[in-house]
Amino acid sequence: MSDLITPVLLARELGILANTSGTPASTSGSVANTSGTAGSGAPHPVVLDVRWRLMGPPAGPDHAAARIPGAVFVDLGAQLASPAATTGGPGGGGRHPLPDPAALQEVLRRAGVGDDSAVVAYDDADGSAAARAWWLLRWSGLRADRVRVLDGGFAAWTAEGLPLAGEAVAEADRAPEPAVVPGDVVVRPGAMPVLDADGAAALARRGVLLDARAGARYRGETEPVDPRAGHIPGARNVPFAGNVGADGRWLSPSDLADRFRSAGVTDPTAVGVYCGSGVTASSLVLALEEAGVTSPDAPAALYPGSWSEWSSDPARPAATGPEPDGPTSAGNAP
């Protein structure tokens, strides 16, 4: 079972392409809460557009202009996270704490998600924003075999020449869109393991803690967003951007496994992940599972507060340099 789906397969499941001929099929009808394939009589998957940029601008206008037919836009910063917090609350601290379960449930229901829905998330970058939605859906209790990320994202969809909807699409080419029927999902948080700061520090010693940020941030050479530079002592650097190739498609399971093996991740090593604010690290959770290093029954643990929470606490040390246990310093955060 893969956590990824190709654009052509998604188009077939949406009924946009016929299964046999590859020719366009009707996309009329309603978005329902479980998935199927074109011609099977089963409902279509719910598609979430999770395009997002850390430093802006907002991606909502991009969705309005052009989107996968039937996709519902979900704002990662506003709807897939709680307001930023310097200390741990119910959803953790940092820049993108986990969302309030009741608020997330409302967002997902408006998008058409039900308890038995198949859901596909996409973005327009490296899959990390879509992976945040994937992780939250799994954390909310949806079955692992019902949640996937579009391999290659929106760019791969358009590269295949598949139909689009949106106001910037010529009317003659604009695909019809189904109505969105509200879902009935019940968010039951806790189905994916999480770490707090103390748990992350402990895992860096008794297992493997992976830092998903770019190497320069891990080494402490630069820190454009958070209070201090460096990394959690003992953490190993596996930048999330390396999960995908130059074409934006995810690496093969064997190539992903090689990445993690080189970082010392071997089954059955306990493994956790963090990044700047708990968003891009979600893609490492997915990549570890896709590689077969972890499994849906025993996924990697996510530290939602991540470096933005850790670095805001002046009592916590920061290591620098390329090694997990590089020189450390006490906090100097205000």
Distance CA 170, CA 173 (A): 5
Tokens of 264: 């010392």
Distances (CA, A) of 121 to 41, 175, 238, 257, 315: 22, 19, 23, 23, 38
- Say if residues 209 and 203 touch (Cβ distance below 8 Å): yes
**What's the half-sphere exposure (Cβ side, CA atoms, 13 Å) at 91?**
22
End-to-end alpha carbon distance in the chain: 47
Annotated catalytic residue, options 275, 300, 301, 318: 275
- Which run of H or of E encompasses 156? helix 153-159
Torsion over CA: 114, 119, 125, 129 (sign): positive
275 included as an active-site residue:
yes
Using an 8 Å Cβ cutoff, are 94 and 84 in contact?
Answer: yes
Which amino acids are annotated catalytic? 275
